[in-house]
Structure 1
Amino acid sequence: MRTNTEITQLLDEAQQHNLCATSTDNNQRRKFARRVACGELITPHPRMYVRPEFWENLNPTQRKRAVVQTLAILHPNVVFAAESAMCMFDVEQPYDIHPENEITVASTSHSGTHVIAKSGTIRHTVCMRNLPTVTIEGVVVTSFARTLFDCARLLPFELALPMADAAARKNFDVSLITQFPVSSVDEANKVARVVSGTDARSENGGESRARAVMENGGFMRPHLQYTFPNPNNPDFPLRVDFIWMLSDGTIIVAEYDGMAKYGATWTEVNTHVSKQYERDEYLKRCGVTTIVHFNFDDVIHPERLYQKLEAAGVPRIR
């Protein structure tokens, strides 16, 4: 399609600021729409336009942030809430909480869900009598405590806990989220579960999510980041991600193997596997009975993780 300098400039400016291009001019919208029709552009949200290659290089959190920041320009009085607010905070968060076709906003008068028929976009409205807000990069969002509270009561435990752990790692007092009113016993229980389960020792979102999945499966809570002496470098003891020390003397270790640990080449993978074998053998000499290795695929398919933990002898307490 013939180059249009006006449209190109709008796209370039938006992309430079990690935003979506948009316009209130009907003529420009028609030009955008023609480029969408021929595949040059995509529309991640109604009346927003981006180049496909730009969008593909953003992760789900960055995509949600781009949409939210663009909406804030179009609707400066809107207050974003829950996951739509969380994307603006510098806190590790699961990508799963950011479906591209959903936005959550806050209101002091009503709550509900509205589906835009033409695009299928879902707009959730969360009602709160008091509306604590902060402004981040020009976007008005609920305060971090309120945002985490809404995520804790609205999202599954395995998605909320990683954000609570991440907040605790930044020295945020997660118990502050209990100050907000709940609308049901179920909500109260979900919030309390996140608060009681939070542990700043969890090093990343994958470990946090794994711990939540273990708890969902009824397994005994593990100790985190337990250290063993390192004979090769005494100043840097060996830490294991999860450990269970049972009353009969059995010691079970579980290690979360994120793909970053393995490297990008076969040489790096082989080096990692060799080091892992040496490490496992040393842990066994330290008295560890069984070592379980699992990855993110096991976490998002819980039965796989459950089978590994059961085979290792991790007790189920419920």
Structure 2
Amino acid sequence: MPGANACTPPPRPNVPSVRRYQQAGLLTVPYRGLYDDTATWCAKDPHEQARTLLRTLHRLHPQWVATDIAAQDFQGIEHGRQLHTDIVTITDRGCNAAKRHTGPGAQLIRMRVPASLDIVTVRGLPMTPTEVSVMVAVPHLPFTSALPMVDSALRQGLSTERLEETAAFLRRLDGYVRALLRCGDPLSENGGESYVRAVIMEMGFAAPRLQVEFRRGGRTVRVDFLWELPDGRLVVLELDGRAKYVDPAMTHGRSPAKVAVEQLDRDEFLRDCGVNTVVHVLFEEAVRRVPLQRKLVRAGVPLAPSPMVLQPTMIA
């Protein structure tokens, strides 16, 4: 039977029964020939579903080498769960061109790669090196999805030069990828901050400085985003979330009122340090864009001096 970390091929004599269970919604087919209990499968988030599927495929096809999003889930590269679109990408040195295999559940893409490409083992699974997994994915992704991956790779210690060399090696280096890599910043602390920064830049605003520290009287506060305006004014943007007020892991036992008071105290401290404007934004406001845009305009955040190419030109 299916387990927490694997899908199971149905025994041939029971295939009709499996189909009946599937039609009744009791079984899920993550990939052709594999099944899992629907309740067990749906209890996993998209990242864990992808990891479970890849572990199972490796047992069935140990020669397959994962790349793209499938590998990133094991390599610690941050990416949005919406990118898990029922596609598993593997590399194939004997493939003359990309091939897509369809059927029930996830699609399999066999991607052609240079014969000299190195293979690494992560948690017992063969996959492309992290820089390859990232640069396979980002050329055809929108800027808001690609920048978190690049930031995450830089946080892991990969350099912009290494990522650019990898893109050139894979023949995926174009104007969009160059602009994307120039925007990458290892100081971005998480995928949410990277997404918000991508939205800010897509809307044409100047790129902010990240994680700048303000010190006064023995106290240090680090802000998410900072702009130093031409007239000397300082504008800070802080990314907030509802979890900040209600998630025990973030509140550490403090009440929502206590968290709110501490935020006001933090804002006052920043003003005492010379910050002129402190703007708070929810992630949802960045997704909707207009609320964030209005706040930035009201705060006087300038537009970028010259537009960048922020639209992918490659097709997946």
Q: TM-score, normalised by structure 1?
A: 0.84
Amino acid at match of 1:128: V
Q: In structure 1, what is the Cα distance between the partners aligned to 2:260 and 2:186?
A: 28
Contact 1:227-1:240 at 8 Å conserved across structures: yes
| Structure 1 residues 120 and 182: alpha-carbon distance in aligned structure 2, compared to 1, 3 A threshold | farther
Q: In structure 2, what is the Cα distance between the partners aligned to 1:141 and 1:185?
A: 19
Amino acid at match of 2:283: F
Contact 2:29-2:105 at 8 Å conserved across structures: no
Aligned to 1:107: 92
Q: TM-score, normalised by structure 2?
A: 0.84
> Which stretch shows the higher mean deviation, 122-131 or 153-162?
122-131
Amino acid at match of 2:194: S
Contact 1:152-1:190 at 8 Å conserved across structures: no
Amino acid at match of 1:296: F
How many Å apart are 1:44 and its aligned residue? 2.5
Aligned to 2:27: 41
Name the SS of the counterpart of 2:127 in structure 1.
strand
Q: In structure 2, what is the Cα distance between the partners aligned to 1:139 and 1:91?
A: 16
Aligned to 1:4: none
Name the SS of the counterpart of 1:180 in structure 2.
helix
Contact 1:115-1:121 at 8 Å conserved across structures: no
Match of 2:279 among 292, 295, 300: 292
Give the superposed CA RMSD.
2.6
Q: In structure 2, what is the Cα distance between the partners aligned to 1:72 and 1:313?
A: 53
Amino acid at match of 1:111: A
Q: Deviations over 1:252-302 (max 9, x none)?
A: 100011343222489732222222122222322332222211122123223
Name the SS of the counterpart of 1:314 in structure 2.
coil
Amino acid at match of 2:92: S
How many Å apart are 1:115 and its aligned residue? 5.8
Q: In structure 2, what is the Cα distance between the partners aligned to 1:62 and 1:205?
A: 17
> Which stretch shows the higher mean deviation, 176-185 or 290-299?
176-185
Aligned to 1:241: 224
Seq. identity, %: 29
Aligned to 1:146: 132
Name the SS of the counterpart of 1:255 in structure 2.
strand
| Structure 1 residues 20 and 204: alpha-carbon distance in aligned structure 2, compared to 1, 3 A threshold | same
Give ranges in structure 2 of 5+ residues lacking alignment. Answer: 308-316
Amino acid at match of 1:200: P
Aligned length: 299
> Which stretch shows the higher mean deviation, 207-216 or 163-172?
163-172
Alignment partner of 1:229 is 2:212: no
Aligned to 2:260: 273
Alignment partner of 1:94 is 2:77: no
4+ residue segments displaced more than 6 Å: 183-186
Contact 1:19-1:69 at 8 Å conserved across structures: yes
Q: In structure 1, what is the Cα distance between the partners aligned to 2:211 and 2:260?
A: 21
Aligned to 1:6: none
Aligned to 2:174: 188
How many Å apart are 1:182 and its aligned residue? 4.6
Alignment partner of 1:251 is 2:271: no
